[in-house]
Structure 1
Amino acid sequence: MNVTRPLRKAALPALLTATALLALPGCGTSGDDGATGSGAGSTVTVRIPDPGNSGVLALGKKDGSLDKALGKVGAKVRWTGSAGPFAPAAQAMNADQLDIATGSITSGITSLAQRPGFKFFTAVAPDAAGEGILVRDGSGIESVADLVGRKVAVNQGGTGEYLLLKALAKAGIPADRVERVYLRPDQTAAVFNAGKVDAWAVWATYAVAEIGSGKARFVADGTAIGSDNYSLNAVRTDFAEQHPEVVKALYRYLHEASAEEKRDPAAYLNVFTDVGPTAVTGRAKEVQTGFTAQGGTVDPIGPEDITRFKGVAAFYAEQKVTRTEVDVAAHLLDIEKLT
Structure 2
Amino acid sequence: MPLSRPTRTTPALLTATALIALTACGTSGADTGGAGPGSRATVEVRIPDPGNSGVLALGKKDGSLDKALAKVGAKVRWTGSAGPFAPAAQAMNADQLDIATGSITSGITSLARRPGFKFFTAVAPDGAGEGILVKNGSGIDSVAGLAGRKVAVNQGGTGEYLLLKALARAGVPADRVERVYLRPDQTAAVFNAGKVDAWAVWSTYSVAEIGTETAHFVADGAAIGSDNYSLNAVRTAFAEQHPDIVKALYRYLHDASVQEKKNPDAYLNVFTDAGPTAVNGRAKEVQADFTRKGGTVDPIRPDDIRRFRNVAAFYAQQKVTTTEVDVAPHLLDIEKTP
TM superposition score normalised by structure 2: 0.94
Q: Distance in 2 between matches of 1:331 and 1:20?
A: 25
Q: Distance in 1 between matches of 2:32 and 2:189?
A: 42
Matched, 1:121 2:135: no
- The match for 1:166 is 165
- The match for 1:7 is none
8 Å contact kept, 1:29–1:95: no
Deviation of the 1:19 alpha carbon: 5.5
- The match for 2:21 is 20
Q: Distance in 2 between matches of 1:292 and 1:201?
A: 19
1:11 is paired with a residue whose SS is coil
- The match for 1:196 is 195
Matched, 1:253 2:268: no
TM superposition score normalised by structure 1: 0.94
- The match for 2:141 is 142
Describe the shift of the 1:30–1:145 C-alpha distance in structure 2 as closer, same or farther (beyond 3 A).
same
Deviation of the 1:16 alpha carbon: 8.1
Q: Distance in 2 between matches of 1:97 and 1:251?
A: 21
8 Å contact kept, 1:2–1:54: no
Deviation of the 1:36 alpha carbon: 5.7
- The match for 1:293 is 292
Given residue 21 of structure 2, which amino acid in structure 1 is its aligned partner? A
Deviation of the 1:163 alpha carbon: 0.1
- The match for 1:131 is 130
- The match for 1:11 is 11
Q: Distance in 2 between matches of 1:327 and 1:294?
A: 30
Q: Deviations over 1:221-255 (max 9, x none)?
A: 00110000000000000000000000000000000
Q: Deviations over 1:255-313 (max 9, x none)?
A: 00000000000000000000000000000000000000001100000000000000000
- The match for 2:304 is 305
Deviation of the 1:338 alpha carbon: 1.2
1:18 is paired with a residue whose SS is coil
Q: Deviations over 1:154-191 (max 9, x none)?
A: 00000000000000000111100000000000000000
How many residues align? The count is 330
Q: Distance in 2 between matches of 1:55 and 1:31?
A: 26
Instruction: Give the unaligned 5+ runs of structure 2.
Output: none
Describe the shift of the 1:248–1:137 C-alpha distance in structure 2 as closer, same or farther (beyond 3 A).
same
Q: Deviations over 1:59-118 (max 9, x none)?
A: 000000000000000000000000110000000000000000000000000000010000
Q: Distance in 2 between matches of 1:171 and 1:122?
A: 31
Given residue 141 of structure 2, which amino acid in structure 1 is its aligned partner? E
Describe the shift of the 1:145–1:170 C-alpha distance in structure 2 as closer, same or farther (beyond 3 A).
same
Q: Distance in 2 between matches of 1:11 and 1:217?
A: 18
Given residue 168 of structure 2, which amino acid in structure 1 is its aligned partner? A
- The match for 1:30 is 27
Deviation of the 1:34 alpha carbon: 4.1
- The match for 1:75 is 74
Given residue 170 of structure 1, which amino acid in structure 2 is its aligned partner? R
Q: Distance in 2 between matches of 1:243 and 1:197?
A: 46
* Fraction of identical pairs, as percent: 78
8 Å contact kept, 2:20–2:81: no
Of the structure 1 ranges 329-338 and 31-40, higher mean CA displacement relative to structure 2 is found in 31-40
Given residue 27 of structure 2, which amino acid in structure 1 is its aligned partner? S
User: For residues 34-113 of structure 1, what are the structure 2 equivalents within 5 Å?
Assistant: 34-35=31-32, 40-113=39-112
8 Å contact kept, 1:47–1:78: yes
8 Å contact kept, 2:39–2:73: no
Q: Distance in 2 between matches of 1:31 and 1:260?
A: 32
Deviation of the 1:18 alpha carbon: 3.2
8 Å contact kept, 1:103–1:232: yes
8 Å contact kept, 1:99–1:236: yes
Q: Distance in 2 between matches of 1:16 and 1:198?
A: 22
- The match for 1:178 is 177
Q: Distance in 1 between matches of 2:158 and 2:239?
A: 26
Instruction: Give the unaligned 5+ runs of structure 1.
Output: 5-9
8 Å contact kept, 2:20–2:83: no
Deviation of the 1:35 alpha carbon: 3.9
